[in-house]
């Protein structure tokens, strides 16, 4: 495991195993963790430090020298110090000339400085070759060896050879380097570890808000109304019955919201008669989070499926079944099979199953590894054709299931419409407008516009 | 966001942020879309055009010049014109000498020309460095920024440095370059965006055909026969009962068809006594779409599972349950638990669940990102060992469930065998022949042949 | 398809399609398979062999020469011979000087030799450029063209240009080269194809052992005890009832075992007052297989869900339902809805569904392509926050469901505790200790230690 941890090995005949000495400036937590890991992987490590007194936190096999001496011992110098202290490197410019400097720093906020730390370093020391790397790896993960998360290390830099040298070290540590191009990518790389699902924020807050609203709506109509007017305590509906009413409603509405921005975009393009003007900002943002909206909708749909399937396991359901049968027995009559009912129940179940099946297919194709293996045409086919088919099936499922409530007066407790009626507004609107948009007389000019034609070329001047 | 969109920035001291001017030949839709995107990413863009009159479709920050002048301003020239017009570039050969030409063209059909567009361009202008790129990206996606699909841009070219320059631009536009090697790969890259699931076509048509056949078979036997002879209208069986009969049958047959070509291949190799002859074409093609067959089988199996699980929610099922209980009550007797029946029902359910579980495991390992993380030995273990185990379990599930129909005369309505009997033919045949093939006396010569031994080395001369 | 399979093509004017001659040393199975494939892809192939007599196994379009002559014809020489025979190459050192040697060898055991075969070759022939490649591809897959498994070919070598040449060949054969860096990576690449799920071994054996134990435990208590004391034959419980008792228990225990090592690590760090000492070996290994433990737990949880959902399809269940209703009818009373029971049954179902939902989310984020697309912070959030939430929900699900058995004396047949009680020990312990660890007075020093602080810096000397 612990091959050539000292410089002596450099003289050994087995030259192919020789690793180049690496210098680390800074003895902070990440500098120490990286040093530990490098020594484990067979690199001689020398620390550059203000005080050359050997600190007992530093790995035992590492040397500690002054900055200048340490830098002279290695071709690669890892800058494990904070951006604020980069200025102290300026006097060392001569020693660092031609060396590879690895910037591993992170910031505390997104876009904290106008230019990235690595570009700042390159401007301070124009004679050195700056490479950005390692900032996406956590010190804790390096130390404990438990890299369950991504082993990817983003690397960027202007000097191809310097980048290659750093990428070799990354590989030797058991990590996967990913070349992100020139130093211009450093800003993006420095922002990367600060993000917490940025694309998910809006869809999640929207879903939470809508879910809370529909949950309360159901509690009022199904529990409170029943308690007041029928003196029945159905508070246990909170656990399964109401979630299973909210989940399908949310799934349907969110799925429709995936296709709504495309509808808006088409209308805007038709109205403007050109595609060469940017959409309003809210529409751009909405279009960029369609995948996330769709996946959340899939989550609600899956919950709806499982909540529905456990129905026979519920004490309430078996009590109701028993009550129905016993009342038949006591009335001494056997009800014949109601064919309309059989048709209705089987239809909405079958529609729901097929819709959910297509929905899951859409979810699978949005896995990164699958969507990377299909071309643009295939992706459009799946997401657009199959997606609309799923929306149609799910809307039909809700219509067949909830249809009987539309006209029944009991569905309007306290003059509030039933939740099924609410859930159908957006999907039906999307489907109707989409149907208009694919009529030949509307589709033809739209296709022309999307191919670059302009109705009114003047105004773009 | 919009850094150095003008050439003035080139003189600014912050040289690390400077982007090289890019020239675009052609002002068609894709040329304009790419120009827009490049200007957004900070590249100065100059268009080369026949008429230097500024068209109002062209991005405002771009210059428009004659071809020769535009080419002189940049080291990279994007050729956004169609292959038929490549000849007009020949007079510009001197200006283009040493420049990087990016071929972004696509064809309308697979293998439309004997050599790829990029290779054709390289032959016309041997002094330039041709790189193929960007043809897999859609103009619409570039413009709208909604790159939900793959962000991969395939790049190929003979000059490593030229390729590197183009890949840097690709990265700067927020896309992921994928080096596909020398210009020989251009043909493949040009064919890529024209495909629509080429490997899926045969499996999907086969499945659709078989599904239609079995569906009609069931409609005839279960609905029409019952209507004629028993005067019962079971037309609502079309929604769930019959799909749930067709799905498991399809899943089992398609799963067996995944393993059948391997059986054929082994028999052919045993018969020929060598592995150094190509299989017949139909077998080659069949073997290449085994994964797709398996995934479609998994789709049918999943539908079967959900169709089965919704059974208690069906009006028909609760009517039948009630009828059974009421008849017991009216006859005033409680039936004791039928142990044979309990064993049978629990066995086929357990076999089906385990078979489906293994089937899903197989599906997960065929996800690109998972199969890229297992080596050949692990993949063979999962796909071959676990796959056969899944086939055995699913066949046993069908045998236990459908077994009672084999001998009962009521299963032969109109002298047609029950669908369960039909579904078992292929899987049982595969399992029996596979069992013969793993007998030591057959397995030994087969293994030798697969390791390169030949029974009859003469004929390969 | 079969372009320039002869050397004549090299003189053709279409020079961009010309492929460089490749030499293969060794006419064994893999050498022949590779030669076949290369000729198919348009490479002229020349074999170097001891006997230049043309063997009829060798592809017809290939030349066969002595080693020295063959080597002179090509810039790339594939060494398709075994490591034991590498010494015979030493006399050829002059001919091979400057050539690219591709080491494709594999070993029979992990780490069979102190240095990798490729490094050994590089030491024998220091004048040649050794590249490791192709060892992860099977000859059978190359020959039959059925590369369902990974198309990745790991490539490593010290000479960048030589590596590039080999990677171009890999791409031309329709495979995907993956640059693994310098020749130091050869050992890892040679070990790769020998592994059979190395990280899965311990979790799988642990699961099998525990499953067997709990299965027997249930058989004894549910079947044998009942048979002896109640004279009831419930042997059919083996198929579904007992598996559905063992699966949730296994899922819960394994999920808790995923979080237990993190608890141990925190306690060890608190006790030692430093993070700069390695954990004991068993803990390191345990932490490295947490993902596998979690995925196996997810498998058990999925089986539990399906086993539960098929309940209404079981003959036993419908018999029991019927019996309950009939006894109500015969006693001529209709039981009212038991609200406590309705609450309990709905609560544990809802808790289980939500726990399982989070569990599946965790499983999806551990797919390689998904975890590569999240940063460290996002991964920690999902795996740690959502993971603990899943554990809490699943523990609560078990507590609510199994709670009634804790105090009931009938749960202690033969003085053995009920299986639900056993299953709750580990998860409850984990949750209690975790709760202590996040108390501010404990969390603060722990966070300090993890940021590099040491309570007692002396002892690390």
d(CA B90, CA B68): 12
For residue C45, what pLDDT is reported?
A: 92
Interface mutation target, options A108, A236, A298, A364, chain C, most CBs of C under 10 Å = A236
pLDDT tens digits in sequence order for chain A, 461 residues long: 333 333 333 333 333 446 789 999 988 888 888 888 888 888 899 998 877 665 666 777 888 888 899 999 999 999 998 888 898 899 999 999 999 999 998 888 888 888 899 999 999 999 999 999 998 887 767 766 555 556 788 999 888 889 888 988 888 887 888 888 888 888 888 888 887 788 888 999 999 999 999 999 999 988 898 888 888 888 889 999 999 999 999 999 999 999 999 999 999 989 988 776 778 889 888 888 888 999 999 999 999 999 999 988 888 888 888 888 888 887 777 778 888 888 999 999 999 999 999 999 999 988 888 887 788 788 888 888 899 999 999 999 999 988 777 667 666 777 788 888 889 999 999 999 999 999 999 999 888 887 767 776 544 43
pLDDT score for B144: 61
Give the whole-angstrom CA distance, residue A438 versus residue C450: 60
Smallest CA–CA distance from B168 into chain A, residue = A181
Mean predicted confidence (pLDDT) in B57-66: 82
The 10 Å Cβ neighbour count of residue B415 is 5
Contact A342 B316 (CB under 8 A): yes
First to last CA, chain A: 68
Backbone angles phi, psi at C365, to 5 degrees: -70, -15
Name residues whose C-beta falls within 8 Å of residue B256's C-beta, 6 or more positions apart in sequence. B391, B426, B427, B429, B430
Strands B76-79 and B22-25: parallel
Answer whether A29 sits within 8 Å of C321, measured CB to CB: no
User: A232 to chain C, minimum CA–CA distance in Å?
Assistant: 11
| Nearest CB to C192; choose among B284, B375, B451 | B375
A313 CB within 8 Å of a chain C CB: yes
Per-residue model confidence as pLDDT tens digits over B79-123: 998 888 898 899 999 999 999 999 998 888 888 888 899 999 999
Query: Which residues of B are less than 8 Å from C323 in CB distance?
Result: 334
Could you tell me the fold of the domain covering C22-194?
Rossmann fold (3.40.50)
**Are the beta carbons of B238 and B215 closer than 8 angstroms?**
no
CB contact under 8 Å between B342 and C138, yes or no, is no
DSSP secondary structure, B440-452, as one string: HHHHHHHHHHHTT
| Minimum Cα–Cα distance from C324: chain A residue | A322
Residue carrying structure tokens 């070996």: C281
Q: Which of C289, C272, C327 is nearest to C450 (CA)?
A: C272
Distance CA B199, CA B176 (A): 25
pLDDT, tens digit, 9 for 90 and up, residues B424-457: 999 999 999 999 999 999 999 888 887 767 776 5
Q: Hey, which chains touch C, using 3+ CB pairs under 8 Å?
A: A, B
Within an 8 Å CB–CB cutoff, is residue B452 touching chain C? Answer: yes
Read off φ and ψ for residue A77, nearest 5 degrees.
Answer: -120, 120
Within 13 Å and on the Cβ side, how many CA atoms surround C93?
A: 10
Cα radius of gyration rounded to whole Å, chain C = 32
Shortest Cα–Cα distance, C6 to chain A (Å): 34
Domain chopping of chain A, boundaries: 22-194, 200-451
Percentage of chain B beyond pLDDT 70 is 90
Chain C residue numbers touching B115 (CB-CB < 8 A): 14, 16-17
Q: Could you tell me if A447 lies within 8 Å of chain B, comparing CB atoms? A: no
Counting DSSP H helices and E strands in chain C, the numbers are 19, 8
Cα–Cα nearest to B331, from B319, B323, B320 = B323
Instruction: Choose between B183 and B296: higher pLDDT.
Output: B296
A54 lies within 8 A of chain C by CB? no
pLDDT tens per residue, range B193-215: 887 788 888 999 999 999 999 99
Q: Which residues of A touch B370 (CB under 8 A)?
A: 369
**Which pairs count as long-range contacts for B198-204, CB under 8 Å and 24+ apart, including other chains?**
B199/B288, B199/B289, B199/B291, B199/B292, B200/B289, B200/B292, B202/B285, B202/B289, B202/B292, B203/B254, B203/B289, B203/B292, B203/B293, B203/B296, B204/B292, B204/B296
In eight-state DSSP terms, residue A9 is G
Give pLDDT, residue C97.
Answer: 92
Please name the helix (run of DSSP H) or strand (run of DSSP E) that holds residue B130, with its range, or none. Answer: strand B129-132
pLDDT value, residue A411? 67
Compute φ and ψ for B19, nearest 5 degrees.
-110, 145
Write out chain B residues lying below 8 Å of C307, CB-based.
350, 353
B329 in reach of chain A (CB within 8 A) = yes
Record: contact C378-A197, CB cut-off 8 A = yes
Please tell me the predicted confidence (pLDDT) of residue B353: 96
Of C150, C239, C327, the CB nearest to B374: C150
Least confidently predicted of A213-227, B128-142, B391-405: B128-142
Q: Is the pLDDT of residue B143 over 70?
A: no
- The answer to whether the beta carbons of residues B145 and B157 sit under 8 Å apart is no
Interface probe, candidates A322, A324, A331, A371, chain C, greatest C C-beta count within 10 A: A322
Q: What is the token pair recorded at C423? A: 């299953």
pLDDT tens-digit readout, B26-51: 888 888 888 888 888 888 999 988 77
Write out the DSSP string of C178-236: EE--SGGGHHHHHHGGG-SSGGGHHHHHHHHHHHHHHHHHHIIIIIIHHHHHH----GG
What is the dihedral angle through the alpha carbons of C404, C410, C413, C415, rounded to the nearest 10 degrees? 80
Q: For strand A176-179 and strand A152-157, is the pairing parallel, antiparallel, or unpaired?
A: parallel
Q: Which residues contact C298 (CB under 8 A, 6 or more apart)?
A: C251, C359, C360, C362, C363
| Size of chain A, expressed as the number of residues it contains | 461
User: Which of B437, B443, B399 lies closest to B421 in space, CA to CA?
Assistant: B399
Spatial separation of the C-alpha atoms in residues B341 and C355, rounded to whole Å: 34
Which pLDDT tens digits describe chain C residue by residue (461 residues)? 333 333 333 333 333 446 789 999 988 888 888 888 888 888 899 998 877 665 666 777 888 888 899 999 999 999 998 888 898 899 999 999 999 999 998 888 888 888 899 999 999 999 999 999 998 887 767 766 555 556 788 999 888 889 888 988 888 887 888 888 888 888 888 888 887 788 888 999 999 999 999 999 999 988 898 888 888 888 889 999 999 999 999 999 999 999 999 999 999 989 988 777 778 889 888 888 888 999 999 999 999 999 999 988 898 888 888 888 888 887 777 778 888 888 999 999 999 999 999 999 999 988 888 887 788 788 888 888 899 999 999 999 999 987 777 667 666 777 788 888 889 999 999 999 999 999 999 999 888 887 767 776 544 43
Q: Report yes or no: C78 and C102 within 8 Å, Cβ to Cβ.
A: yes
Element spanning B180, H or E: none
pTM above 0.80, yes or no: yes
Contacting A residues, span 273-312, partner chain C, CB-CB under 8 Å: 299, 302-303, 306-307, 309-310, 312
- C-alpha Rg value of chain B to the nearest Å: 32
Residue B113, pLDDT score? 86
What DSSP state is assigned to residue B159?
Answer: -
What is the bridge-based pairing of β-strands B76-79 and C152-157?
A: unpaired
Q: Which two tokens stand for residue B309?
A: 């699980």
What chain C residue is nearest to B380 in terms of C-alpha separation? C149
B163-192 burial, b at 16+ Cβ within 10 Å, e below that, comes to bbbbbbbbbbbebebbbbbbbbbbbbbbbb
When CB atoms are compared, the residue of C32, C171, C327 closest to B452 is C32
Q: Which residues of A touch C119 (CB under 8 A)?
A: 16-17
In the sheet that holds A76-79, the strands lie side by side as: A63-65, A45-48, A22-25, A76-79, A100-103, A129-132, A152-157, A176-179
Residue A173 near residue A37 (C-beta atoms within 8 A): yes
pLDDT digits (tens, 9 = 90+) for B262-308: 999 999 989 988 776 778 889 888 888 888 999 999 999 999 999 99
Which tokens in the block code for residue A295?
Answer: 């996946």
Question: At a CB cut-off of 8 Å and minimum separation 6, what does C385 contact?
Answer: none
Closest Cβ–Cβ partner in A160, A291, A346 for B148 = A291
Block residue for tokens 């030995």: B377
- Please list every residue in chain B whose beta carbon sits closer than 8 Å to the beta carbon of residue A339: 233, 236
Indicate which of B452, B453, B459, B461 best probes the interface with C, i.e. most C CBs within 10 Å of its own CB: B452
Backbone angles phi, psi at B59, to 5 degrees: -50, 140
The answer to whether the Cβ–Cβ distance between C325 and B325 falls below 8 Å is yes
Q: Which residue has the tokens 């737990």?
A: C297
Q: Which of C148, C191, C247, C324 should we substitute to test contact with B (largest number of B Cβ atoms within 10 Å)?
A: C148
Rounded (5°) CA angle B168-B169-B170: 90
User: Does residue C243 contact residue C301 with C-beta atoms inside 8 Å?
Assistant: no
User: In this structure, are residues A77 and A48 in contact, taking their beta carbons and an 8 Å threshold?
Assistant: yes
- Dump pLDDT digits (tens) for B317-341: 888 888 888 888 878 777 788 888 8
* C-alpha distance from A67 to closest chain B C-alpha (Å): 26
Chain C residues close to A28, C-beta within 8 Å: 452
Across the interface, of B14, B138, B145, the residue whose CB is closest to A284 is B145
Backbone angles phi, psi at B348, to 5 degrees: -70, -30
Helix, strand, coil share (%) of chain B residues, nearest 5: 65, 5, 30
């Amino acid at each position: 495991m612990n091959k050539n941890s000292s410089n002596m090995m450099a003289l050994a005949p087995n030259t192919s195993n020789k690793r180049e000495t690496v210098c680390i400036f800074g003895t902070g937590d990440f500098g120490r963790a990286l040093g530990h890991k490098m020594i484990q992987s067979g690199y001689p490590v020398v620390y550059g430090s203000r005080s050359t007194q050997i600190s007992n936190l530093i790995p035992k096999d590492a040397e500690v020298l002054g900055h200048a001496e340490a830098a002279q011992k290695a071709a690669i110098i890892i800058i494990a110090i904070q951006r604020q202290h980069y200025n102290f490197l300026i006097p060392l410019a001569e020693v660092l000339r031609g060396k590879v400097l690895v910037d591993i720093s992170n910031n505390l906020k997104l876009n904290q400085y106008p230019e990235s730390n690595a570009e700042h370093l390159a401007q301070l020391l124009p004679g050195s070759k700056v490479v950005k790397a390692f900032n996406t790896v956590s010190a804790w993960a390096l130390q404990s060896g438990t890299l369950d998360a991504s082993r990817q290390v983003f690397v960027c830099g202007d000097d191809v050879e310097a980048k290659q040298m750093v990428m070799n070290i990354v590989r030797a540590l058991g990590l996967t380097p990913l070349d992100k191009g020139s130093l211009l990518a450093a800003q993006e790389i420095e922002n990367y570890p600060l993000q917490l699902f940025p694309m998910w924020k809006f869809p999640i807050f929207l879903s939470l808000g809508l879910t809370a609203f529909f949950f309360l709506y159901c509690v009022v109509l199904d529990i409170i109304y029943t308690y007041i007017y029928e003196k029945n305590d159905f508070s246990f509906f909170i656990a399964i019955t109401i979630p299973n009413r909210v989940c399908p409603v949310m799934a349907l509405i969110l799925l429709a919201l995936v296709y709504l921005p495309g509808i808006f975009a088409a209308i805007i393009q038709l109205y403007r008669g050109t595609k060469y003007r940017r959409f309003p900002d809210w529409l751009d943002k909405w279009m960029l989070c369609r995948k996330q909206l769709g996946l959340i909708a899939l989550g609600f749909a899956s919950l709806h499926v499982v909540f529905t399937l456990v129905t026979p396991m519920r004490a309430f359901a078996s009590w109701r079944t028993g009550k129905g049968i016993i009342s038949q027995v006591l009335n001494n009559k056997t009800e014949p099979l109601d064919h309309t009912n059989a048709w209705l129940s089987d239809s909405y179940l079958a529609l729901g199953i097929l819709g959910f099946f297509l929905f899951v297919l859409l979810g699978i194709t949005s896995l990164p590894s699958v969507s990377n293996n299909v071309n643009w045409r295939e992706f459009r086919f799946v997401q657009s054709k199959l997606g609309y088919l799923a929306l149609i099936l799910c809307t039909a499922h809700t219509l067949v299931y909830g249809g009987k409530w539309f006209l029944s007066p009991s569905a309007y407790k306290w003059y509030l419409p039933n939740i099924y009626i609410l859930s159908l507004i957006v999907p039906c609107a999307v489907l109707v407008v989409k149907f208009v948009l694919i009529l030949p007389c509307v589709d033809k000019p739209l296709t022309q516009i999307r191919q670059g034609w302009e109705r009114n070329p003047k105004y773009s001047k």
